[in-house]
């Protein structure tokens, strides 16, 4: 049923994208901006055959924009117009539609290959703010007046540009979030219900080698300024999975979620069993604790290689093993803060989901990144990594929201590492909720210890 919906909806997409017919219900715009030095063409990727279907009546010239009406999960590739490819290949610039209006910028790397980058409404708003403030600064400095007068002129210009528009901006933001939430639920229902749904293709595939010499195939599923999702082939060894199970199988308890006051509760939205694994000081070699210590070292090798977070093991949560049985699932959620706010205190900034056991083909258990339009099935010994803190100290605005599809056959045994920024042996993760705010009983100590800087970064009082 899901597959026929996808193909039928594409028939409408073709008419709207190429021939200009009115936008069909449920579709949303994907705006393509060509920043390469050559004309480009956009192709829809058939989810079953990999066949490419042209989307624009004429190539998109450099510096120009074109728009296509499409739906969540539809994947597109962007290539030089003179290549006329017939099949999808991993090296092509690509994007999977998230279900809300998007701006996709296609640019060229130094080696000549193309990359497609989505800019969120926040990214575009930040650029517009910078442009307007630059204009105010130029106007204030356009005449030879005293510095104090220039400052007053700048303040007046900025007030005129922004203060009167705040209410409208807030209303638009809330509307955007409402549409995004509705689209994410539609995307999850569709992908989870389709047993033949293919995993999203990766780009920028590389081989990463850990400090211990373990080789991992790493590919990018999604990349934006504040959110990145990567798939890692062979991240785990079988010995590591065995150690995870040996350490947790007899300790599994019903999973909980964080409450508003920083506590924990069993929740309908998350049905699974879980147990935690901590770092064992001094454990080495092939013992269960030694293997798990080595896995944690590898996790931090990875996160510090692929991000600039500079994290250490001190004060971190450790690994959480999670088992899903038939009918178990996890509804759409974020692991940390995800509304574009500043990173707080000791909040989570990244997640690694590692697969040890998965249901048989068609047995459910896939992972949907509902707002990024990414779907992963996960294979034993592979993993998915996603980060959600941007270079400006602000969090992702929902693109790493994800869910676990219901298990319909067999079981799913995974291990999750939630990475926090700002924790230490003096202030471990147990004192703060996933967003970084203090748990009950630690509020006063938190207020003395943490302060927020103007640039959005947290500072620790000595």
Question: Could you tell me which of 204, 199, 197, 224 has the C-alpha nearest to residue 382?
Answer: 199
Confidence (pLDDT) at 7 = 35
Is residue 333 located within the same domain as residue 434?
Answer: yes
- In the chain, % of residues over pLDDT 70: 79
Is residue 91 located within the same domain as residue 240?
Answer: no
Is residue 163 located within the same domain as residue 23?
Answer: no
In this predicted structure, the answer to whether residue 159 has a pLDDT above a threshold of 60 is yes
Confidence (pLDDT) at 420 = 97
Confidence (pLDDT) at 293 = 96
Domain presence at residue 396: yes
* Structural contact between residues 257 and 331, judged by C-beta atoms closer than 8 angstroms: no
Is residue 233 located within the same domain as residue 361?
Answer: yes
For residue 290, name the pLDDT band (cuts at 50, 70, 90).
Answer: very high
Q: What is the mean pLDDT of residues 419-425?
A: 95
Confidence (pLDDT) at 298 = 98
Is residue 150 located within the same domain as residue 68?
Answer: no
DSSP result, 122-165: HHHHHHHHHHHHHHHHHHHTSS---HHHHHHHHHHHHHHHHGGG
Q: What is the mean pLDDT of residues 176-202?
A: 70
Q: What is the mean pLDDT of residues 91-118?
A: 88
Higher pLDDT, 290 or 182: 290
Domain that holds residue 15: 2-119
Confidence (pLDDT) at 114 = 94
Tokens of 30: 């994907």
Confidence (pLDDT) at 318 = 92
In this predicted structure, the answer to whether residue 10 has a pLDDT above a threshold of 50 is no
Confidence (pLDDT) at 8 = 34
Is residue 107 located within the same domain as residue 63?
Answer: yes
* Structural contact between residues 414 and 376, judged by C-beta atoms closer than 8 angstroms: no
Cβ neighbours for 237, distance < 8 A, ≥ 6 positions apart: 214, 381
How many residues are present in the chain? 462
Is residue 264 located within the same domain as residue 298?
Answer: yes
Q: What is the mean pLDDT of residues 344-373?
A: 93
pTM recorded for the entire structure: 0.68
Domain presence at residue 185: no
Confidence (pLDDT) at 389 = 96
Is residue 158 located within the same domain as residue 237?
Answer: no
CA distances from 326 to 54, 195, 407 (A): 41, 15, 5
Is residue 94 located within the same domain as residue 170?
Answer: no
Is residue 266 located within the same domain as residue 378?
Answer: yes
- In our burial notation (b when 16+ CB lie closer than 10 A, e otherwise), range 351-376 reads bbbbbbbbbeeebbbbbbbbbbbbbb
Confidence (pLDDT) at 308 = 94
- Across 17-21, 111-115, 217-221, least confident range: 17-21
Question: Could you tell me which of 339, 11, 384, 357 has the C-alpha nearest to residue 170?
Answer: 339
Domain presence at residue 308: yes
Question: Where is the domain boundary, 82, 99, 119?
Answer: 119
Domain presence at residue 348: yes
Confidence (pLDDT) at 183 = 57
Q: Please give the tally of structural domains in the chain.
A: 3
Confidence (pLDDT) at 176 = 55
Highest mean predicted confidence (pLDDT) among 113-127, 234-248, 257-271, 441-455: 234-248
For residue 12, name the pLDDT band (cuts at 50, 70, 90).
Answer: very low
DSSP 3-state of 15 = helix
On average, the pLDDT of the chain sits at 82
* Structural contact between residues 61 and 34, judged by C-beta atoms closer than 8 angstroms: yes
Question: Could you tell me which of 302, 282, 281 has the C-alpha nearest to residue 236?
Answer: 302
Q: What is the mean pLDDT of residues 444-454?
A: 65
In angstroms and rounded to an integer, the radius of gyration of the C-alpha atoms of the chain is 24
Question: Could you tell me which of 15, 32, 33 has the C-alpha nearest to residue 24?
Answer: 15
For residue 257, name the pLDDT band (cuts at 50, 70, 90).
Answer: low
Confidence (pLDDT) at 345 = 84
């Amino acid at each position: 049923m899901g597959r026929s919906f996808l193909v039928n909806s594409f028939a409408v997409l073709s008419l709207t994208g190429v021939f200009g017919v009115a936008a069909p219900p449920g579709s949303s715009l994907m705006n393509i901006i060509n920043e390469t030095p050559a004309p480009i063409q956009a192709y829809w990727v058939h989810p079953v055959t990999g066949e490419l279907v042209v989307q624009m009546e004429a190539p998109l010239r450099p510096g120009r924009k074109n728009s296509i009406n499409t739906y969540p999960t539809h994947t597109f590739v962007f290539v030089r117009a003179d290549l006329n490819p017939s099949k999808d290949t991993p090296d092509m610039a690509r994007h999977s539609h998230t279900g809300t209006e998007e701006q996709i910028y296609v640019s060229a790397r130094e080696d000549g290959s193309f990359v497609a980058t989505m800019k969120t409404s926040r990214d575009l708003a930040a650029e517009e703010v910078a442009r307007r403030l630059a204009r105010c600064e130029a106007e204030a400095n356009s005449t030879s007046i005293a510095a104090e007068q220039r400052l007053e002129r700048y303040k007046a210009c900025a007030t005129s540009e922004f203060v009167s528009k705040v209410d409208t901006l807030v209303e638009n933001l809330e509307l955007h979030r409402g549409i995004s939430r509705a689209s994410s639920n539609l995307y999850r229902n569709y992908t989870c219900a389709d047993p033949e749904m293919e995993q999203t293709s990766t780009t920028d595939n590389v081989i990463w080698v850990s400090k211990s010499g373990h080789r991992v195939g790493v590919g990018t599923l999604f990349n934006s300024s504040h959110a990145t999702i990567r798939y890692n082939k062979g991240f785990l060894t079988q010995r590591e999975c065995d150690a995870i199970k040996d350490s947790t199988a007899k300790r599994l308890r019903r999973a909980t979620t964080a409450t508003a006051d920083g506590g924990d509760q069993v929740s309908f939205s998350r049905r699974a069993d879980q147990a935690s694994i901590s770092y064992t000081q001094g454990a080495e070699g092939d013992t269960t604790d030694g293997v798990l210590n080595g896995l944690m070292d590898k996790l931090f090798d990875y996160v510090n290689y692929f991000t600039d977070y500079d994290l250490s093991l001190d004060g971190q949560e450790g690994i959480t093993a999670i088992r899903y049985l038939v009918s178990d699932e996890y509804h759409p959620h974020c692991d940390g803060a995800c509304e574009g706010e500043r990173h707080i205190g000791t909040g989570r900034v990244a997640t690694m989901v590692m697969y040890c056991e998965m249901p048989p083909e068609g047995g459910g258990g896939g992972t949907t990144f509902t707002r990024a339009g990414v779907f992963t099935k996960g294979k034993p010994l592979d993993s998915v990594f996603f980060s959600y803190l941007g270079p400006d100290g602000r969090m992702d605005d929902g693109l790493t929201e994800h869910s676990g599809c219901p298990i319909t056959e067999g079981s799913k045994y995974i291990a999750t590492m939630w990475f926090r920024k700002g924790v230490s042996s003096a202030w471990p993760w147990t004192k703060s909720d996933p967003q970084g705010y203090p748990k009950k009983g630690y509020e006063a100590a938190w207020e003395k210890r943490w302060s927020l800087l103007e640039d959005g970064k947290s500072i620790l009082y000595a």
